Every structure is written in C-alpha cells, then in structure tokens.
Amino acid sequence: MQNNSTHHQAPAVDTPFRCTTTVQMRYTDYDMHQHINNNAYFTFFDLAKVDYFTQVSNSRFDIDHRSLVIANINVNFFNPALLGESIQVLTQCVKVGDKSLTLVQQVCNALTGEVKCMATTVLVHFDPATATSVTIPQHWRDAFAEFEHRDLTSLSQ
C-alpha cells in the first residue's frame, strides 16, 4: 500500500516566537477523519491572542474602554493535525502601525514542531463609543517592542 500523505513546509519566520500557548483539545475539534476541523483553528488563534496580550501587558495595558478588533485574518493550512497530537500556538507581533498591529501565529505539533497552519491577523485599535479607529497608545507600542525585543514600527510587513 502506498502512503499518499504529503507534508508541506510552512514558510520560515525570521524572528523568534516569544509566546507559546498549549491548546487543550476538545471532542468537537475533530472531524470524522480524526483531523482537527479547520474551524477549530480560529478558536486556537483566539485563545493564543488572549495569552499573548496577557504576557505582553504584564499588567501594563489599560484598555481604556477601547479594544482591538480583527480587521483581516488570513490562514494557510499546511499539514493536518491528527487525533492524539499535542498542539501549541506560537504568537508574535510583527508590526505596530498608527492604528493597527499585525500578529503572526502558527499552530504546531508541540513535540515535532511541524507547522499545521499559519495565520496573519491585522487588529485595529477601536473606540466603540465613537465607532472609529484610534491611535495605538505609546505605552502599548513600548510594551510590544519590549516583549518582542525589537522595534516593530519600522517593519514593512
């Protein structure tokens, strides 16, 4: 019998991920083929965003009645995650603009590092009281740069 499984290589990420979130799998995350359903990955990304912002803030973020909302998310799927695999999500901020920031996240096998999928998400700093985007405060910019150990405003991604 021929093995038809193909493993696809995710593109390399030039900077290290400083936030790793372990994901507890649920029964409903799997489909009839014992793969993680593609919809479940979005929940994993959201769980990891909360973990990332908690680590970045270190109790320094003051949301100030404003929030970050997802303006765009793109996901590329490379390899299926299977029943029994330990899964983790790696998260990093790659850019902070005037009113938005960009995160890159990878869902990986926790033991082998095999990348299952990769998301790029643009979040906009939004004031619900005025229904407008607002400038990201300097203390947020400083917190992201400190956590990521690099300047995030000069990147062209």
pLDDT of 2 over the 50 cut: no
Q: Give percent above pLDDT 90 in the chain.
A: 63
Residue whose structure tokens are 């990332």 = 52
How many Å separate Cα 68 from the centre of its chain? 14
Beta bridge partners of 122: 72, 102
Instruction: Catalogue all structural domains in the chain, each as residue range(s) with its CATH number.
Output: 19-148 (3.10.129.10)
pLDDT score of 8? 75
User: How high is the pLDDT of residue 6?
Assistant: 65
Is the Cβ–Cβ distance between 124 and 68 less than 8 Å?
yes
pLDDT in tens, 59-80: 655 555 568 899 999 999 999 9
User: Which tokens hold the place of 34?
Assistant: 């014992």
Question: Which H or E element spans position 121?
Answer: strand 115-127
